[in-house]
Amino acid sequence: MRSRSSQLFRISSCPAVLSTALFVAATLTSAANAQSVFSLGGKEYAVKDLGVSHQQAWFDVENERFEKSKRIVDDIVFDMYVEAEAKKAGKSKETFEEDFAKVKEATDKDAKVWFDKNKDRVPYPYEQIKGEIKKLLASELIQEKRAKALEDYKKKNKFAFTMTGPVAPVVQIATAGFPSRGPDNARVTIVEFADYQCPHCKAAATAMKGVVAKMKDKVRLIYLDFPINPSGISLTVAHGAVCADEQKKFWEYHHLAFDKQSTLTKDSPAALAKELKLDEAAFSTCMGSARPAERVAKAKAEGERLGVQGTPAIYINGVRMTHAPTEEEITKHVNEALKGTAS
Confidence label for 266 from pLDDT (cuts 50, 70 and 90): very high
Please tell me the predicted confidence (pLDDT) of residue 35: 60
Q: State yes or no: pLDDT of 34 exceeds 70.
A: no
Lowest mean pLDDT among 30-34, 186-190, 320-324: 30-34
Q: State yes or no: pLDDT of 120 exceeds 90.
A: no
Question: What is the value of pTM for the model shown?
Answer: 0.78
Closest CA to 179 of 224, 213, 227: 224
User: What average pLDDT does range 96-124 have in this prediction?
Assistant: 92
Residue spans per domain, the chain: 4-156, 180-341
Confidence label for 121 from pLDDT (cuts 50, 70 and 90): confident
What percent of the chain lies above the pLDDT cut of 90?
A: 84
CATH topology of domain 180-341: Glutaredoxin (3.40.30)
Q: State yes or no: pLDDT of 5 exceeds 70.
A: no
* Angstrom distance (rounded) from CA 207 to CA 284: 31
The average confidence (pLDDT) of the chain is 89
Q: State yes or no: pLDDT of 119 exceeds 60.
A: yes
User: Could you tell me the strand order of the sheet in which 319-320 lies?
Assistant: 180-181, 219-225, 188-194, 313-316, 319-320
User: What average pLDDT does range 60-73 have in this prediction?
Assistant: 95
* Angstrom distance (rounded) from CA 236 to CA 241: 9
Please tell me the predicted confidence (pLDDT) of residue 53: 94
User: What average pLDDT does range 113-120 have in this prediction?
Assistant: 90
Please tell me the predicted confidence (pLDDT) of residue 25: 38
- The CA–CA distances, whole Å, from 274 to 20, 76, 233, 240 equal 61, 58, 18, 12
User: What is the per-residue pLDDT across 194-224, written as a single tens digit (0 to 9) for each?
Assistant: 999 999 999 999 999 999 999 989 999 999 9
Instruction: Give the number of residues written for the chain.
Output: 343
Q: State yes or no: pLDDT of 103 exceeds 80.
A: yes
Confidence label for 315 from pLDDT (cuts 50, 70 and 90): very high
Residues near 84 by beta carbon (within 8 Å), at least 6 away in sequence: none
Residues near 95 by beta carbon (within 8 Å), at least 6 away in sequence: 86
Closest CA to 132 of 111, 103, 113: 111
